[in-house]
Every structure is written in C-alpha cells, then in structure tokens.
Amino acid sequence: MKLKNKNVLFTGAAGDIGRATVKRFLAEGARVMMADWDEKALSEFANTLSGEVGYIQVDVSRMEDNQKMVEATVERFGGIDVFVANAGIEGKVSPIDECSLEEFNRVLSVNVSGVWAGLKAVKAVMKERGGSIVITSSGAGVMGSPNMMPYNSSKHAVIGLMRCAAKEFAPFNIRVNTVNPGPLDSRMMRSIEDGYAPGSSGEFKQALEQMTPMGRYGRADEISGMMLFLASEDASYCTGGVYMVDGGNSC
C-alpha cells in the first residue's frame, strides 16, 4: 500500500476529483480528513466510505478555517503527512468588460488565497515530519482562455505559489507540486460548457474533444492516479513540478 499509515488532509473532497482521489487514498492505506464547504455532501460521501476517514466543513478563503481543519486533522490522526489543496471554483464565463471586480476577487479568494492560507496553516505541522503537498491547478494554469480570466489567472497563480513553496519547504523534506487536469467529465466542466455555449453545450464539448490529441475528456480517476503518485514515496525526488494530466491538450 503506497500510503499505509499516512495522514492526509484533503480540501475540495466532495467534488469529482476529490471523491475519486479520497477513495483511492483510502484503498492505499491512508487516513483521510476531508474538508469542503458543502457539509451535506461531505456527510453523504463519508457514509459511503470504509477506512479511517473524517470530515470538516470549511471555507478555505478564511484563514481561521484553514487553521481549524489542520487542528482537526492533527487531533484526529496525530499529524499530517500529505496535504492536497484541491478546493476551487470556476466562476462565471464572461468577457472582462462584463466581469466585476467582486467576481474576480471571489474566484481568487478561494482558488489562490485558499491555497496560500492552506500552505501557511499546514507548514508548522508538516515540517515536523516532512511529506508531500499536492495543489490542483489546471490546464488553464498554463494556457489562456477567452472569457475565463478570473479562473485562468487563479490557476496560473497557484503554480507560482507551488514553486515558491517548493523551495521554502524543501529544507523540511516537504515536496510541493501541482497537478494540472485538462477537461474532465465533471460538474465544473459542465458549468463551463454551459457558460460558453448556452443551449448547445454538447457541441462545445465535441469541439473541445476534437482539439484534444487523445480525442476525449479525462476522468476523475485518471487525475487521482497522478495525485497518488505525487503523494507517495514513488515521487520522493519530485518537487516544484507541474504535472499535466490533459490528454495532450496543452501540447
């Protein structure tokens, strides 16, 4: 088992990538504290799981909630070996002249400030024993997209956070990397499709699949495989990396 007796704190655990990866981590022997803003979804998901798992409702844009989830994980499991900063929102699809500063800040407060606050909260605990931090970025973190400026900017920004943290945390044997998914069969992607092509989202999806070298959307379980690799000792010399899982979409 690749994560036997490892303690994991996982944000955005109730989403598509979160669910697939939490299941995989538990199957590999991890103990997992799930964090998400949607307490009902967390509770329902937790009831389907076996293994050592807990959950906590948080708003990652709030520093105090990040401290709370770290403290809850330490209290429950005794420490943190792996932190997955996966929480994120897509925001609205709109050109910049129709996007308010409030909307821009709303997306960045979750997707960027939430990651920064998580890194700040978890460092003091993880530096005692080392470990791995995995941040969910996106294919949008290495490419531009029209009408998605808040989201794309946020996913570029977390790569910068990751690279700084990789150097700052390395003396404590903490590795930090991003996983960058391409288009997935997921709730978020359906929202983006509807935003770009109201009433014809199926045609938009088909066009995007045709632009992807592998000719299809990815699956959440395909992202979980990369997250497992980076969380495990298989990636013991990997830090500061941007790991694309996008079917060649960013080529």
Measure the CA–CA gap between 193 and 107, rounded to whole angstroms.
18
217 included as an active-site residue: no
Measure the CA–CA gap between 101 and 225, rounded to whole angstroms.
36
Measure the CA–CA gap between 144 and 154, rounded to whole angstroms.
12
The answer to whether 100 touches 203, Cβ cutoff 8 Å, is no
Instruction: State the residue for tokens 């770290």.
Output: 70
- Cβ–Cβ contacts within 10 Å for residue 95, how many? 10
CA dist 221 to 23, 131, 134, 227, 234, Å? Answer: 9, 23, 16, 10, 18
Please pick, among 55, 151, 217, 243, the residue that the annotation labels catalytic: 151
Measure the CA–CA gap between 86 and 30, rounded to whole angstroms.
17
Q: Show which residues are catalytic.
A: 151
